[in-house]
Structure formats: C-alpha cells, structure tokens
Amino acid sequence: MKNNQTKYPQSIGIIIDGNRRWASERGLSVMKGHKFGYDKLKEVLRWAREFGISTVYIYAFSTENWIRKKEEVAYLMKLFLRTFGQGAGALIKEKARIRFVGQIGRFSPAIRMVIKKLEKATANFFGINFIICLSYGGRAEILEAVKKVSSEKTKEEISGLTEEQFSQFLWTAGLPDPQLVIRTSGEIRTSNFLPWQTVYSEWFFPKTYWPDFTKSEFESILEEFSKREIRRGR
C-alpha cells in the first residue's frame, strides 16, 4: 500500500540504534557496525520516497555521543567525512534536499566544508527532505533558541510569544514536525531526540538492530500508523 490516499505520514524521524550490538553479536568491530549502519541510510531514503514521505529526520550523532571512546569517535568523524564528501555523489543521486541540524560548529573544518557543499549541491532538490541530526541534542537546541529569543526580542514581544513563533528559533525552523518516530534495536527511550517537535508524534520501537532493519518492517510500521486515530488532545 502506497501513500496515494495520504494515510501514511508525510514526515518521520528515525533514531538509528543497534549498530554496535549488531557488530558485537557477529564478532565484528564496532566500526564495522557503524559502516553497515550508515550504508542503510540510502536504502531507507529510497523506501521513504516510494511510500510518499516528504521529510525524513535521521538521528545520526548526538551531543552525548562525543563522550564515547576516542577511537570510536575518530572513526565516526572519518565516516562522516567520507560519506558526506567522497560519497556525496550517492546521496546526490537520490535527489533529496539534504540539511544538517545540530552543533555543526563542533566538527572539524574539513567536515564542516563537506557538509556545506552537500547542502548547497542539493539545495534545489524538492522531492524529499533528508534532515541529518548531527551533534544534535534537544535540550541544547531549546536552550539555544531561548538565548536567541532573549537577544532578539523585547520583554513585551517575549510575553506574547506563541509556540509557532518560538519554533522559528529552533534549528528545525521551517521544517515539519515528525508525525511518526522509529527507534530501532528495542530500546524504549527518546534520547533527547527532537523533544519540542515530537510531542504529538506516534512512536514505534522495533526490536531489530538498525543494520538489519528491512523494507517490510518499515512498511508494517507505516501501515500501523495509518490505522491509528491521531487526536492531538481532542
């Protein structure tokens, strides 16, 4: 069943979890797990387009992930550089408009450069939005938004600020909130992922590790979403 009757969500978020456990259970290095995990991204992007989804958020690296072992973080930095730099052609071929949200300034100049180039190269693509949350943390995002509001608005303007107006100070300004969020690997927690944007999202927690996540599982989740009654407090 495809999204020809708009029963499927238009915007989704995915917390990619389970790369390390997937690798460990197969006697592989943690780095191999991350490699297979990031290869899965291109597949999921194609699935999303096929089912008529217009915006996909991917939680690729959190603000908390910086405290992992130095070797693992260093490998991830190399993976980001390769994926968004040398491997950018494969992402560009998907015709998705790619945007990065998070504390991008924490990355090396080389990574910041390939991120900027990839965003520019895909700026005129409108088939699907692919939002990569990199060094992202929901609390950090909200705190940064509060600082911006305080510096740009008067006390009178702040007192009358609406939720819609405040959302324009978030890193995701101008983007739709996820209607559905998937977290793979069976862990049932939100991990600081888009707390403002997901207050009315439907959450799914499949037990499958991210590298093993399949198109049939993805479609089953979309089908289940289409059967839910979304009341938003009504």
Residues with catalytic roles: 17, 65
Pairing of strands 97-101, 129-136: parallel
Edge-first strand order for the sheet with 55-62 is 97-101, 129-136, 55-62, 11-15, 180-183, 202-204
Q: Is the dihedral of CA 33, 38, 43, 44 positive or negative?
A: positive
Picking from 218, 215, 210, the residue whose alpha carbon sits closest to that of residue 38 is 210
Locate the DSSP E strands across 81-128. 97-101
Q: Estimate the crossing angle of helix 30-50 against helix 215-227, to 10 degrees.
A: 50
Picking from 203, 234, 233, 209, the residue whose alpha carbon sits closest to that of residue 221 is 203
Q: Are 206 and 182 spatial neighbours (Cβ–Cβ below 8 Å)?
A: yes
